[in-house]
Amino acid sequence: MFLEHFPMESRQYGWIEVICGSMFSGKTEELIRRLKRVEFANQQVLLFKPKIDNRYADAAVVSHKGSSLDAIVVDSAKEALARWKNERVVAFDEAQFFDQEIISVCTQFAKKGARVIVAGLDMDYLGKPFGPMPELLCIAEYVTKVHAICVSCGNLAYISHRTVSGSEQVMVGAIEKYQPLCRGCYNKIAH
């Protein structure tokens, strides 16, 4: 369960939070919720998204439900370091699309005292760990795994099942290309 209050918020060092799960589980919605609370408290926020994610808006992070926040589009996580002006909170959406460098970048922000919030898919459409997410999960102080509902049976979803052909790991899309399935329903159609 997500901790609503972080017990070490007043310490001088920052920390890393990761929000993960399948598509349609509410990862971006949860990221936006946390950032809106921070903004309400008048804390400065930097929100980044990878250039590849242009599904709903070019310069905003947008959830499948339509919630949004303005974001800075970057080609790499390293670009975020140059944009930082001592903001207390730094966030990344769709972290699975960044390269391994995001791990070092998040660590550097935390060492500088920032609260770092990262949201991303923990697994790809085949159920394999996705991009830098496994390492981010390992180095995070706080991890929240959210779940979609299986569109076939109503159980908690396990995977983002791709419904269109293509074998590349990265295929940006939404409901037109993916559906959340539980392990049982996925195993019935995948094998």
Q: Which residues pair with 187 in a beta bridge?
A: none
Cβ contact 39:117 at 8 Å = no
Catalytic residues: 94
Contact 24, 64 (CB under 8 A): yes
Half-sphere exposure of 7 (CA within 13 A, CB side): 4
Which tokens hold the place of 77? 């996580």
State the Cα–Cα distance between residues 155 and 158, nearest whole angstrom: 9
- Record the tokens describing residue 187, joined without a space: 């195993």
In contact, 59 and 73? CB cutoff 8 Å:
yes
Distance CA 35, CA 70 (A): 11
In total, the chain counts a number of residues equal to 191
Do the Cβ atoms of 94 and 119 come closer than 8 Å?
yes
